[in-house]
Structure 1
Amino acid sequence: MATCAVRWLSRSDVLAAALPLASALEVVEATLRDHGNGAFENPPKTGVHPQHDAFIHAMAGWLPRQKRGGVKWVAGYSSNYKSGLPNITGLMVLNDPETGLPICVMDAAYLTAVRTSAASAITSKYLAPSNVDRIAVIGAGLQGLYHVKLMSLIHPSAEFQVVDIDPSAVDRLANQVSAEARVVHVREAESAIRAADVVVTATSRLEEVVFQFGWMKKASLVLPVHVRGWSQDITTASDALFTDDVEQFTNFIRATGSPYEDLSRVRGSVSSVIVGKLTGRSSNSDRIAVFNLGLAIHDVAIAAEILSLAERQNIGTVVAY
C-alpha cells in the first residue's frame, strides 16, 4: 500500500509562510465571486456548545474552480483570557480532491483572523459610503488588529478610532500598525461610532446590548464580528441588511436563538452584491448593516494559499500515516 503523508503547520509555521495580506484580500474577493456565482459548497456550520459563551464548530467547504476542499474545527471561548489562552483556537484540514486523503493540518487561529478581517474589508469595498475618513474598531484584540491591517489596504487614508476597555491593548495595536495606519485611541464606543463612516465591533460574544444603532450616522456601514451586542433597531432602522450566506445565517439563528425580533429584512448575501445580482448601497446616505458569520470556503482558500507558500519554502513537518 502506498505511503500517505500530511504536512503539519504549527502556529509559528503558518506565520513563517508569510501570506501577504494583499493576497488574502484578493483570495477572499475571488472566493466571494465564486459564492455569488454558485460555484461552491459551504454547508451551514455545525457544532456543539459546551458553555453558554462557547462553541466548537465544524466548517466544511469545497471550491470546484480551484479544486480545494477541507474542514476547520474551531472553538471560541470568550472566557479563555482569564487563563491566558486565546479566544479562538482550532485546526484546519485540507484534503486531496482526487483521493480525499488529508494533505495538510494547520493551526487555524491566524487564518481565522485574516479571513474574517478580509471579508469585512471586501464588504466595505462594495458597501461602504463613497468617502471613508474614519473607521471605528471596537476591540483591540487579534480581530481588531487584523481588521485595522486589512481595512487599511482598502481605505489607506482613513483614520482608525480604536476603543478597548484595556488602554494598553490599544497602545499595542497602534505600535503594531504604526507603519500601516493612523490609529487614534478613543475611550468611549459611542463617540467613536458617531464619528465613523465604517464601524467594526470586534469584541467577544456579548449577551447584553452595548451598542445603539441610533449612534450610526447617515452614510455609514456597520460590521459586527459577532451577531449580538447591538440594539434591536439594527435590523429595523438600517436601510439595508445583508449577510455572507443566507442559509447559514438562518440556520445559525434557529440554532442559537436570535437576539433580534425581526430579521425578515435580510436582503441577501454580500456576494450577490459583488457579482451584480443585488443592489447594495442605493444611496450614499444609507446606513447598512452586514452580519458576516464566516464562510468555510474562505478558510479553505486562505489555507490553500498558506500551504502553497509553505511547500515552496519547505516549512512545516511532513508526517507519514
Structure 2
Amino acid sequence: MTTSSVRWLSRNDVAKMSLPLTSALDIIEGTFRDHGSGAFENPPKIGIHPGNDSFIHAMAGWLPRQRRAGLKWVAGYSSNHKVSLPNITGLLVLNDPDTGLPICVMDAAYLTAVRTAAASAITSKYLSPPNVGRIAIIGAGLQGLYHVKMLSLIYPEAEFQVVDINENAVGRVAEQTYSKATVVRVKEAEVAIRTANVIVTATSQLEDVAFQFGWVKEGGLVLPVNPRGWSQDITTETDVLLADDVEQFKTYITATGSPYRDISRIRGSIGDVIVGRVAGRVSNADRIAVFNLGLAMHDVAIGSAILDIAEQHGLGTILSY
C-alpha cells in the first residue's frame, strides 16, 4: 500500500500564514460570484445539536473553477467562555479532487472568523445605502472584531458603534483595528441600531428576541451573524430579504425550528445580486436583511489560500498515513 501524507496546520500555524484581509475580501467576492453563476457544489450543512446553545456541523464544498474541495467540521458552544474556551472551534479538511485523498487538515477557527466577516463586508459593498457613516456592531467577541476589521476596509472612515456588556472587550476591538475608522462603545443595542446605516448582530445564539426590526431606519442593512434574536418582522417588513444560499437557509429554518414563521419573501442569494440575476437595493430607502449562514465553499476557498502560503514557505507538519 502506498503511503500518503497530509499537511497539518495548527491554530498557531494558521496564524503565521498572515493571509492579507484584502485578499480574503477578493476571494470571498469571487466565490460569491461563482455561487451566482452556478460554478459550485455546496449542499446544505448537516449537524447535531447536543445542547440548546450548541451545534456541531459538517460543511462540504467544491469549487470546480479552482479545483478545490473540502469539508469543515465546526462546533459552536455559546457557553464555552465560562470554561475559558473559544465559542467556535473546528477543523477544515482539504482533499485532492483527482484522488479524493486528504492533503491538508487545519484549525478552522481563524478562517471561520475571516470568511464570515468578509462575507458581511462584500454583502455590504453591494447592498448598503450610499454614504455609510455609522455601523453598529452588536457583540465585541472574535466575530465583532473581524467585522470591524473587514468593514473598515470597505468604509475606512466610518464610525463603528460597538455594543457589549464587557467594556474591556470593546477596548480590545478598538486597539486591534488598524484603520482610520473610529470605534466607540455604545451601551444599548437599540441606540446603536437606530442610528446606523449597517447593522451587524455578532452575538452568540439567542433564544429570545433582543432586536426589533422597527429600530432599523430607512436605508438600513441588517446582517445577522447568528440568525436568531430578531423580531418576526425582519422577514415580513424588509423591502429586500436575501441569504447567502437560499436552499441552505430554508433547510436551516426547517431543521432548527427557527422563530421566523414566514420566509416566503426571500428573493435570492448574494451571488444572484452580484451577477445581476436578482435585484438588490432599488431605493436608497430600502431596508434590507441578509442571512449569511456561512458557506462551505467560502471555507474551502480561504483554507486553500492558507494552504498555498504554507506550501510556499514549508510551514506546518507533514504526517504520513
Deviation >6 Å, runs of 4+? none
Which amino acid in structure 2 is aligned with residue 31 of structure 1? T
Question: Where does residue 104 of structure 1 map in the other structure?
Answer: 104
8 A contact 1:223–1:291 mirrored in 2? yes
Query: What RMSD over aligned residues (CA atoms) do the two structures have, in Å?
Result: 0.8
Question: Where does residue 253 of structure 1 map in the other structure?
Answer: 253
CA distance in 1, matches of 2:49, 2:184: 37
The alignment status of 1:71 with 2:71, answered yes or no, reads yes
The alignment status of 1:43 with 2:31, answered yes or no, reads no
Question: Where does residue 279 of structure 1 map in the other structure?
Answer: 279
The alignment status of 1:146 with 2:121, answered yes or no, reads no
Give the 3-state SS of the residue equivalent to 1:79 in structure 2: helix
Q: TM-score, normalised by structure 1?
A: 0.99
CA distance in 1, matches of 2:3, 2:25: 36
CA deviation vs aligned residue, 1:99-154 (integer Å, no higher than 9, x gap): 11000000000000000000000000000001100000000000000000011111
| Percent identity of paired positions between Structure 1 and Structure 2 | 70
CA distance in 2, matches of 1:195, 1:90: 36
CA distance in 2, matches of 1:186, 1:315: 41
Question: Where does residue 164 of structure 1 map in the other structure?
Answer: 164
CA deviation vs aligned residue, 1:297-319 (integer Å, no higher than 9, x gap): 00000000000011111111011
Which amino acid in structure 2 is aligned with residue 21 of structure 1? L
Give the 3-state SS of the residue equivalent to 1:302 in structure 2: helix
Give the 3-state SS of the residue equivalent to 2:170 in structure 1: helix
CA distance in 2, matches of 1:15, 1:123: 25
The alignment status of 1:126 with 2:129, answered yes or no, reads no
CA deviation vs aligned residue, 1:72-99 (integer Å, no higher than 9, x gap): 0000000111101100000000001111
Number of residue equivalences: 321
CA deviation vs aligned residue, 1:186-208 (integer Å, no higher than 9, x gap): 11111111110000000000000
Question: Where does residue 15 of structure 1 map in the other structure?
Answer: 15
Instruction: Write out aligned runs for 1:224-263 (5 A).
Output: 224-263=224-263
Question: Where does residue 81 of structure 1 map in the other structure?
Answer: 81
1:267–1:179 distance in 2 versus 1, CA, 3 Å: closer
1:222–1:294 distance in 2 versus 1, CA, 3 Å: same
Which amino acid in structure 1 is aligned with residue 173 of structure 2? L
- Unpaired runs of at least 5, structure 2: none
CA deviation vs aligned residue, 1:187-230 (integer Å, no higher than 9, x gap): 11111111100000000000000001111000110000011101
Which amino acid in structure 2 is aligned with residue 152 of structure 1? S
Which amino acid in structure 2 is aligned with residue 226 of structure 1? N
Question: Where does residue 183 of structure 1 map in the other structure?
Answer: 183
CA deviation vs aligned residue, 1:46-67 (integer Å, no higher than 9, x gap): 0111111110000000000000
CA distance in 1, matches of 2:88, 2:24: 19
CA distance in 2, matches of 1:43, 1:235: 23
Q: TM-score, normalised by structure 2?
A: 0.99
The alignment status of 1:95 with 2:95, answered yes or no, reads yes
Shift of 1:237: 1.2
8 A contact 2:149–2:178 mirrored in 1? no
Which amino acid in structure 1 is aligned with residue 135 of structure 2? I
Question: Where does residue 309 of structure 2 map in the other structure?
Answer: 309
Shift of 1:2: 2.8
8 A contact 1:149–1:180 mirrored in 2? no
Which amino acid in structure 2 is aligned with residue 141 of structure 1? G
Which amino acid in structure 1 is aligned with residue 71 of structure 2? V
Give the 3-state SS of the residue equivalent to 2:267 in structure 1: strand
Which amino acid in structure 2 is aligned with residue 306 of structure 1? I
8 A contact 1:17–1:313 mirrored in 2? no
8 A contact 1:92–1:105 mirrored in 2? yes
Which amino acid in structure 2 is aligned with residue 109 of structure 1? A
8 A contact 2:155–2:181 mirrored in 1? no
8 A contact 1:117–1:143 mirrored in 2? yes
Give the 3-state SS of the residue equivalent to 2:205 in structure 1: coil
